[in-house]
Structure 1
Amino acid sequence: MASILGFLQLAGAVALLLFGLGLVRDGMVEAFGLRMKLILGAGTRTGLRAFASGLVATLGLQSSTATALLTASFVQREMIATRRAQIVLLGANVGTAMTAVIVSTDITAVAPVLVLLGYGLRRRGTTVTSGVGTALIGVGLMLVSLTLLDQATAPLRASPQMAAFLPMLDQAWPVALAFAAGIALLCSSSLAAVLLIGSLVLPPDLTVVMVLGANLGGAMAPVLAGATLDIAARRVLLGNLTVRAIGCLIALPLAGLAAGALNGMPLAVGPLAVSAHLAFNLALAALIWPFNGLVCRLVAVLMPQDAHAASTAPRWLDAQVLDAPPLALTGARREVLDIGDSVERMLAQTRAAFRKHDPAPLAEVRAIEDQVDRRQQQVKNYLSRLTGDATEAERRQAIDILDYVINLEHIGDIIDRGLSPEVAKKIGLGLRFSGEGFRELDALFLLTQENLRMAQTVFMTRDRDMARRLMEQKVTIRNLERQSAQRHLIRLREGQTESRETSSLHLDLLRDLKRINAHAVSVAHPILQDEGLLIESRLRGS
């Protein structure tokens, strides 16, 4: 019975730690999610900035797994180059090690204050303060969980069975490494595994070995979670796992020396497990960075490109289920989601041409637009053939699907006839925006891609809170567009040559990106209208 109680106490402490981590991640995403995506999406122009963006994003999200999956999704949408993405993940690994240093600091006494402050901020109701409040509650719970971990592992540390087991594990380092990797994979967090290892009294060299295993297991979690992503995204996640595996192979024979060196340091950053975690990831980043291109080529060999032929035929429109409206509507929704992915691909290719000053990505835009036109017509024809057995609610669903696919077709037209020719003009005439102008437009491109992706999620889930956030983003976009236009006029008055040469082009791109966002946001209208959260007019009452 005592053993069962001890195990439950340990499991509960780990669960509280993971719950706190989740609260911090969710709170930071709620408060600063868009800014974090901007950091990752726009902060990778150089290797150093890519490393810093991964580090900062992980400090905010409190999870290198979350950063890895977010980075992989950006690679899938061609918003980040593969080599830069690998450097982002090196920064993310250092970020999670720095998080361990911060959390392991002996500040448990402030945990109640953090929880109280977080509760107060959540009560204020705004998105940012509520998110920050959730994150503070998460940090407070993490600190409490460390105290519980220390209490739960006290019987283990005094146990004669543990005293007999540890020498056996210390003589089988590969087994210890695999054991720690399994713990990290089970927790989906190398941070939680390292903090758990740090709460145990282990021989110094065994501590280092198990920290290596925690790092290896922490890289396995995103590989499994990203199994449904495309080949480019999965290569990034596999590359991160390959890098950590190489690091473990190099460091494992040197674990004893590393433990002695870390114990001999005059200024320790925390328990040995935390110090080893930080030292390993810093050394790994310094070692792998110069050979980043070689790692990418190795991963390409390990995961070759699949032969894939795109089909323009409808995938989900089954005429045989038209007499069953729920099944027909489900198929139409899946088809429209696929069309939305194609439109997002058009926008990604246009942004790639804009950033690289290369017309090659634009060649795909016209072909995709032709497919979008045909497929949206197929969806309209399909829904028009629904039987009269459909209920009023199902007819309204069909209208919502039609509205969204029509808006997607309009977005495709804007990209094909507006954005794409404008970017082609920029490239063909050799025009260059000013540094500030380029960053403003690129940030707006990125926000537009994120809004289109959020619109896809809102269409699929009909989540009211996400629909509301999407509507709020429309205001953000409108303000950014107005501010960029004003700054552009200021640069014109200052006589900047680049601004004068690209004046009409800059304003045209702003206008088209704003129009795309307006069409994307429209998916939230019926959801919020059903909830009574929309007003008929923006005019102020007299």
Structure 2
Amino acid sequence: MLEAFGLRMKMILGFGTRTRPRAFASGLLATLGLQSSTATALLTASFVDRQLIGSRMAQIVLLGANVGTALTAVLVSVQIDAVAPCLVLAGYVLRQRSQTIASGIGGALIGVGLMLVSLTLLEHATMPMRDSPLLAAFLPMLDNAWPVALLLAAGISVVCSSSLAAVLLIASVPLPPELTVVLVLGANLGGAVSPVLASAGLGVVARRVATGNLIVRGIGCLIALPLISPIVPQLVALPMDLTGLAVEAHLIFNIALAAAIWPLNRAVVSLVEHLLPGEAPATAARRNWLDDSLLDKPLLALSGASREVLAIGDAVERMLSQTRTAFRTDNSSPLAEVAELESQVDCRQQEVKNYLSRLTGNASEDERRRSIDILDYVINLEHIGDIVDKGLAAEVHKKIGLGLRFSDEGYQELERLFLVTQEVLRMAQTVFMTRDRDMARQLMELKVEIRNQERQSAQRHLIRLREGQAQSRETSSLHLDILRDLKRINSHAVSVAHPILDEQGLLVESRLRATRSAQSS
């Protein structure tokens, strides 16, 4: 699902967090699509790390993700194993398609089908265990040691990197009702540990998100443990013929936890900020990767130039991020950094061009081609920097200076395109570094989608003008100028995919249709 709808998933998380209900729904929907609250947590943490989502909204997103993974368990545990072969077959057929979306959906269908097959195999495999005298002797011991059972289930969840897998495993084994609920609580606790481990390499702001989710689930388990004995009889009385006690308890626990934590979200965020204080900003000097002593070694020289260009791309992405911050907050302070970064980008890209022009003549054909690709990309980055500084930043400054306000629809359209553009820049950096053909293809497909978004936004803006909306009339030229500049930025960023796809013979010379005379000849 990430392969097919990765950018759309990120848009759901990044754009759907302006209010708490929308943030909760975004986390729930993203997890239903990804079938993993851990994946949603990592995406959310990375967005917080890049200041695209606030910490408070991020915790609400994860509450929705927890409910989403519980709903996923309900869907998967329903007795639909008979459709597993159909899902795998359909997934295989779609996987052979060249389109990224079809291929990604195919992979997801294969995954779901194999999960259903595994549940059936797991049920058959555990049949001897159910009649085992050793299990009959072990379970009463575990039933009398709930903390041990809780930690055991948490460990299983961490090993599986998924509370969903742990809950389904628990549901497949015959256990006393109270012990089942204890193990489900442990699975939820362990499911919050995986994002903490996976986000260890991110900034402190991102780590707070995963840590906050762990604290929330830990508090929930501590509160729920003493209530198990009085609540379990009521849970057993529920109609659970299709899903079972473990899955139902998993869903009820996460819904109750979301309802309890929702009004206390501010306190949770404050607690996490106290436990994980902010880091001092780094003041390390810039490193120059252009080493003149390597000019007679083209491979090493090109590696250094590539790393320098990646640093330039990071600076350009920072320029766009600061411009978007100013756009969202109506504060022109971040724009001062944009002008400073633009002068650095101009200077550094000129250094790269001069450096590559001095490569010795013993470079191979592949190395000369790589040199041209690096030049093309750094020139496009410099164009993007110019567009951000002289176009977008100036337009945002005008919006702030004149106190202009877009209509709600217009603002959302521009905000969505800002977010997509930032993601395209990050993908372009990855494509430049890895030269991955599949991601290059995704970039090209995104270009078409972004062009359609820009055209649709312009059309909707004209409709609002015809309807006489005052805000749209006041911001008309500004709205269209920002749309144009964001579209241009995307075009320059996507161009990094051209040489990669051209080498594979996947590009055509022109998008023009053949004329009738040419067809007849």
What pairs with 1:187-226 in structure 2 (closer than 5 Å)? 187-226=160-199
Q: Which of 39, 42, 46 is 1:73 aligned to? A: 46
Q: What amino acid does structure 2 have at the position aligned with 1:485?
A: A
- Corresponding position of 1:238: 211
Tell me by how many angstroms 1:228 deviates. 2.0
Aligned to 1:416: 389
Provide structure 2 residue ranges, at least 5 long, that are not aligned to the other structure: 516-521
Alignment partner of 1:446 is 2:419: yes
Structure 1 residue 459 and structure 2 residue 432: aligned?
A: yes
Matches within 5 A, 1:356-395: 356-395=329-368
Query: Is 374-383 or 60-69 further displaced after alignment?
Result: 374-383
Equivalent-residue separation in structure 1 for 2:54 and 2:343 (angstroms): 27
| One-letter amino acid of the structure 1 residue matched with residue 322 of structure 2 | Q
Kept in 1: contact 2:240–2:248 (CA 8 A):
no
Map Cα deviations across residues 197-248 of structure 1 (whole Å, 9 max, x no partner).
1111122222112111111211111222222222222211221122112222
- Provide the rounded CA distance (Å) in 2 between the counterparts of 1:315 and 1:256: 65
User: C-alpha deviations, 1:486-535, integer Å up to 9, x for none?
Assistant: 22112112211111100100010011001100110110111111112222
**CA displacement at 1:49 relative to structure 2:** 0.3
> What amino acid sits opposite 1:103 in the alignment?
V
Question: Structure 1 residue 508 and structure 2 residue 481: aligned?
Answer: yes
Tell me if the contact between 1:312 and 1:371 (Cα under 8 Å) persists in the aligned partners.
no
1:242–1:361 CA distance, 2 compared to 1 (3 A) = farther
Distance of 1:179 and 1:379 partners within structure 2: 55
- How big is each residue's C-alpha offset from its partner over 1:242-291, in whole Å with a ceiling of 9 and x where there is no partner? 21122222222333333333113356772111111111111111111111
**Which deviates more from structure 2 when the two are superposed, residues 504-513 or residues 262-271?**
262-271
Match of 2:501 among 510, 528, 541: 528
Distance 1:361 1:369 in 2: 13
* 2:377 counterpart of 1:404: yes
Ranges in structure 1 where 5+ consecutive residues have no aligned partner = 1-27
Q: How far has the Cα of 1:478 moved from its partner?
A: 1.4
- Once the two structures are superposed, residues 97-150 of structure 1 have per-residue CA deviations (whole angstroms, 9 ceiling, x without a partner) of 000011000111222222233334445544333333332222222111111111
Distance in 1 separating the partners of 2:374 and 2:202: 25
1:538 CA displacement: 2.9
- 1:151-184 Cα deviation digits (max 9, x unpaired): 1112222222222222222222222222111111
Q: How does 1:81-480 map to 2 (within 5 A)?
A: 81-123=54-96, 125-266=98-239, 270-311=243-284, 313-480=286-453
Contact 1:376-1:409 within 8 A present in 2 as well: yes
Deviations 1:301-345 (A, max 9, x none): 222222233445225444454443323322322232232222222
Q: Deviations over 1:339-385 (max 9, x none)?
A: 22222222122222222333233333223323333333343344344
Aligned residue type for 1:113: C
Q: TM-score, normalised by structure 1?
A: 0.90
Q: Is the 8 A contact 1:350 1:420 kept in 2?
A: yes
Q: 1:111 and 1:266 mapped to 2: Cα distance? A: 25
Return the offset for 1:443.
Answer: 1.3
Distance 1:320 1:204 in 2: 71
2: CA distance between counterparts of 1:119 and 1:159?
39
Report the number of matched residues: 515
CA distance in 2: counterparts of 1:329 and 1:344, whole angstroms: 22
Which residue of 463, 466, 482 corresponds with 1:490?
Answer: 463
**CA distance in 1 between partners of 2:305 and 2:228 (Å):** 57
Could you say if the C-alpha distance between residues 336 and 311 of structure 1 is closer, same or farther in structure 2, counting changes exceeding 3 Å?
farther
Q: CA deviation at 1:411?
A: 1.0
The 3-state SS of whatever aligns with 1:80 is coil
1: distance between equivalents of 2:241 and 2:269? 35
Q: Is the contact made by 2:77 and 2:242 (CA closer than 8 Å) also made in structure 1?
A: no
Aligned partner of 1:9 in structure 2 is none
CA contact (8 A) 1:268 1:275 kept: no
Is the 2:79–2:242 contact (alpha carbons within 8 Å) kept by the matching residues of 1? no
Whether the 8 Å CA contact 2:41–2:210 is kept in 1: the answer is yes
TM-score scaled by length of structure 2 = 0.94
Question: In 1, are the aligned partners of 2:171 and 2:246 still within 8 Å (CA)?
Answer: yes
CA distance in 2, matches of 1:444, 1:170: 54
Q: CA contact under 8 A between 1:77 and 1:345: conserved in structure 2?
A: no
Q: Which amino acid aligns with 2:60?
A: I
CA distance in 2, matches of 1:346, 1:406: 16
Are the aligned partners of 1:68 and 1:222 in contact in 2 as well (CA < 8 Å)?
yes
Residues in 1 aligned to 2:307 and 2:128: alpha-carbon distance in whole angstroms: 54
* Letter matched to residue 131 of structure 1: G
> Which string of whole-angstrom CA distances, capped at 9 and with x for unpartnered residues, describes residues 459-483 of structure 1?
1111112111211211111121112
Q: Kindly tell me: are residues 216 and 331 of structure 1, through their superposed partners in 2, closer, same or farther at Cα, counting changes over 3 Å? A: farther
TM-aligned CA deviation for residue 60 of structure 1: 0.5
Question: Is the contact between residue 97 and residue 278 of structure 1 (CA under 8 Å) also seen in structure 2?
Answer: yes
